[in-house]
Amino acid sequence: MKKTNVIKNKSLSHVTTFSMMIIGLAITACLLFSFVGCKTNTSTNKQDSSLITLKVQKTGDDFEALTNVAFPGNGDMWVLEQAGKIWIIRNGKRLDAPLMDMTGKIVKMHNGYEERGLLGIAFHPQFKINKKFYLFYSRPSSTFNHTGVVAEYKLTDNLPVDPDSGRIILTVDEPDGNHNGGCINFGPDGYLYVSLGDGGGQHDQHGDIGNGQNLNTLLGKILRIDIDTADSYKIPADNPFAGKANVRPEIWAYGFRNPYRFSFDKVSGQLFAGDVGQDLWEEVDIVKKGANYGWRIMEGTHCHNLKNIPDSSCDTSGITMPIDEYSHTIGISVIGGYVYNGNQLPALKSKYIFADWSGPVFYLQQSGDKWLRGNIKLQNIPDNLKITGINEDENGELYFLTNPDTGPGNKKSAIYKIVSEATNSKTNITTSEKTNPDIAEGKELIAKSNCLSCHKPTVKLIGPSFQDIAKQYPATDTNNDFLIEKIIKGGSGNWGPVAMSPHADLAAPDVKKMVAYILSVK
């Protein structure tokens, strides 16, 4: 495999504050108090022309807190449990003994809610020859909350794999128990990419600028390293910060809060990442060399501050914006997914499939220089499951990992494979959206108008009544003007399930585009 020249790695050193946050309490508080930025809404409009309905089939169950599955290319599925065991599913059945047991290497798990553990796995590009695979796990630390570890192991004929046989590649001290990232993947260039969260706690209150913006720490970053060396790793010479003073050369991109899952599109080579937000916004990014994705300056496309107050005063120069964001009226923790490149589901081709931990599933479809978000409904799956991961097999087919609880402590986690498209699924962007840019942009503006309910709880969402509006008002100039006035000024009327509150802070040109979409939906 061709690679550029490399330079030697520098030592790892981080000094950050130590604290502990139990996010499960925050989630409980959301349910009890419904404060701004925590309310979730997983309902889907059944008449939404962007809805795709998919049938899934259970391919494994009775696991404890699944974090990942991987496919070595021989028909097997390797299944990772958060507490440290790796199982094999072969011909649809789990083997009796685990492939590997890392529980002795990993921090003691908290039942109920836990973000640490065995989080990531990647096969070497030459796995079929060298049998090397890589794990990301959380080990105990006497100084910090824990230490994130990337280690290399080798599959042998003598199973189980010895957990003490690993070669340590990378260690990163973590001041808190949350925001660990933990995703590892080989890119099309043959280098290993590693995601790390901002060190945990809330609002990245680590130092003057936060870890996300601090280029002297690996926390809050996506890294790129060369592991094909006798040393721990080397730095690719074309890394964006290689050879620069006072910057960690491992960094590929920065400004992340918790990039829990990322993946490469097998066709375009683009790196897609879901970055988990703080209290208001979740985002999806296309990650590029040397780019800054904004945290803690920004949360999504919005200025961030400790009080979650709407603000436009932050300096956004040099920040790369997400390709999509959604508010906490829709979900609370994005789970990055994959661009679908399989052959069983033509309706998903080239769409980016991702989810929220609380249950909703989405896709992004590129339209010009924009990405339009649609909803996915899964059939044959129980309600109220948490989605803990999405994975791709060697044929490009997709799997969802689920847990009925918020972490370890039960053996009810399951794996579901997407097997077919339901017959009533409506899959494509409408013709009117393709031919009229205002309609496509209006749809996007509507999706992003959830910020009104985030920041101004007295303002009702206009989204739930769009379909009713479309049925009741033909697309005429009179109705167009009437709807624009109603959206901006508010007032009662035949608006379906809700009356309109004023949206005076929306610009009239934007409202016109929103109305164009409203009247195009039939």
Q: How does DSSP assign 208-220, residue by residue? A: TT-TTT-TTSSTT
Phi, psi angles (nearest 5°) of residue 16:
-140, 165
Across 188-212, b (16+ Cβ under 10 Å) vs e yields ebbbbbbbbbbbbbebbebeeebbb
Q: What pLDDT, on the 0 to 100 scale, is given for residue 27? A: 38
Low-confidence ranges of the chain (pLDDT < 50): 1-49, 427-428, 450-470, 492-501, 522
Q: Do domains 6-421 and 431-520 have the same CATH topology?
A: no
Residue 110: phi and psi, rounded to 5, are: -90, 130
Q: What are phi and psi of 472, to 5 degrees?
A: -90, -20
Q: 209: closest CA among 322, 138, 298?
A: 298
In b/e form, how buried is each residue of 469-507, taking b as 16+ CB within 10 angstroms?
bbeebeeeeebbeebbebbbebeeeebbeeebbebeebe
For residues 375 and 362, is the Cβ–Cβ distance under 8 A?
A: yes
Q: Which two tokens stand for residue 400?
A: 């969802």
Asked if residues 285 and 272 have their Cβ atoms less than 8 Å apart, the reply is yes
Nearest alpha carbon to residue 140 among 102, 167, 179, 183: 102
Q: Is 445 helix (H, G, I), strand (E, B) or coil?
A: helix
φ and ψ at residue 86, rounded to 5 degrees? -115, 125
Confidence (pLDDT) at 441: 79
Tell me the pLDDT tens digit for each residue of 221-279: 999 999 999 989 999 999 999 999 999 999 999 999 999 999 999 999 999 999 999 99
Alpha carbon dihedral 168, 148, 328, 299, in 10-degree steps, equals -90
Fold of 6-421: Neuraminidase (2.120.10)
What own/partner pairs with CB < 8 Å and gap ≥ 24 does 427-431 have?
Answer: 427/52, 427/347, 428/347, 429/50, 429/365, 429/367, 429/372, 430/49, 430/520
Amino acid at 374: G
What is the pTM for the complete model shown? 0.77
Pick from 353, 349, 302: nearest CA to 328: 302
**CATH fourth-level superfamily of 431-520:** Cytochrome c-like domain (1.10.760.10)
The total of other beta-carbon atoms located within 10 Å of residue 369's CB is 6
pLDDT value at residue 502? 53
HSE-up (13 A, CA, CB side) for residue 263: 23
Residues 6+ apart with CB under 8 A from 423: none
* Residue 152 · residue 167 · CB < 8 Å: yes
DSSP 130: H
What is the three-state SS of 471-510? HHCCCCHHHHHHHHHHHHHCECCCCCCCCECCCCCCCHHH
Q: List the chain domain ranges.
A: 6-421, 431-520
pLDDT of residue 224: 98
The Cα–Cα gap between 424 and 167 comes to: 51
CA 372 → CA 26, 44, 50, 390, 469, distances in Å?
30, 16, 9, 20, 21
